[in-house]
Amino acid sequence: MKFAVLQFPGSNCDQDCVHVLRSVFGCPTELLWHKEYSVGDADAVFIPGGFSYGDYLRTGSIARFSPVMGAVKEFADNGGHVFGICNGFQILCEAGMLPGALIRNRSLQFRCEHVYLQTATHDSPFTGQIPEGKNLRIPIAHGEGNYFCDDETLQSLEANNQILFQYVDAEGDLTDHANPNGSLANIAGICNAKRNVAGMMPHPERAAEAALGSTDGRLIFESLIAALKPQSTLAPA
């Protein structure tokens, strides 16, 4: 199973993603510079966090026009799995591959802290291995993570179970106080209607080893790896 991790000018979580995929999960992983026109033979593409193009104009608004994003869109249109973390989520929204937008945190503060997430649906390649009832403790680090969409879009996200993660407090309650950025419906991550493209603001790659204080992020990588494993076929007679 091969992964590609995109790298834009200003990406800064690309090496973290590569480290987790290669060293924690032993998966061959390539860094893909934004000027590439193909995702090669990758089975899934990660769009990492950072500040692509200095967050100029709007977060993710310039990166989405990089050559590699044309290849990523084609890959996703053909059913390929794409996962955006933080700036990667912002880029996917700007590219129209996920609905809505990430705007300035309601507090105007850059929030850098651990949060708790509840998994709103296990029916996705990104959440399938997360145990029922297990809330994830994963860090966030963003100034623009306030998820916004119009009412109609929010209704369709809810109706199609496209909300993957929501911010909750340490007790697991979905409260306004637990919402670090003002996101609608405490949304921390969503997927598209086809369920092969997803994005989230928290950083699972920063919670994948005990030395980092939490290994909850591993469950998201494990979910994707399990989903990508070739389906078992009948043994030849």
Partner 1 sequence: MLSLGGTAFFEGMKAKVIITPKRAVLDPQGKTVQTALEHMGCAGVREVRIGKYIEIEMDGDRETVEAQLSEYADKFLANPNIEDYRLVFED
Q: Which stretch binds partner 1 (CB under 8 A): 18-26, 42-50, 99-107, 194-202?
A: 99-107
Q: Is 27 a catalytic residue?
A: no
Total residues contacting partner 1 (rule CB under 8 A)? 20
Give the one residue of 37, 41, 79, 108 binding partner 1; rule: CB under 8 A. 108
Determine if 90 is a binding residue for partner 1 (CB under 8 A): no
Determine if 148 is a binding residue for partner 1 (CB under 8 A): yes
Query: Using alpha carbons only, how large is the chain's radius of gyration in Å?
Result: 17
Based on the number of CB atoms within 10 Å of its own CB, is 219 exposed (0-12), middle (13-18) or buried (19 or more)? buried
Give the one residue of 29, 87, 146, 162 binding partner 1; rule: CB under 8 A. 146
Determine if 74 is a binding residue for partner 1 (CB under 8 A): no
**Cβ closest to partner 1, residue 112 vs residue 170:** 112
Q: Which stretch binds partner 1 (CB under 8 A): 25-33, 69-77, 78-86, 96-104?
A: 96-104
Q: Which amino acid is at 21?
A: L
Determine if 144 is a binding residue for partner 1 (CB under 8 A): no
- DSSP at 209: B
Q: What is the dihedral of CA 80, 20, 231, 43, to 10 degrees?
A: 30
Of 116, 148, 155, 150, the residue nearest 135 (C-alpha): 116
Determine if 156 is a binding residue for partner 1 (CB under 8 A): no
Whole-number Å distance between alpha carbons of 58 and 102:
9
Active-site residue, from 36, 94, 144, 205: 205
Q: Is 86 a catalytic residue?
A: yes
Active-site residue, from 13, 86, 149, 191: 86
Of 210, 218, 49, 213, the residue nearest 143 (C-alpha): 49
- 3-state secondary structure (DSSP) of residue 66: coil
Of 173, 224, 176, the residue nearest 200 (C-alpha): 224
Alpha-carbon separation of residue 76 from 29, 67, 188, 191 (angstroms): 18, 15, 21, 12
Minimum distance of partner 1 from residue 105's CB (angstroms)? 7
Based on the number of CB atoms within 10 Å of its own CB, is 117 exposed (0-12), middle (13-18) or buried (19 or more)? buried
Minimum distance of partner 1 from residue 167's CB (angstroms)? 16
Determine if 149 is a binding residue for partner 1 (CB under 8 A): yes
Determine if 103 is a binding residue for partner 1 (CB under 8 A): yes
Q: Is 93 a catalytic residue?
A: no
**Under the rule (CB under 8 A), what is the footprint of partner 1?**
57-58, 61, 65, 93-94, 99-101, 103-108, 146, 148-150, 182
Q: Which positions are annotated as active-site residues?
A: 86, 203, 205
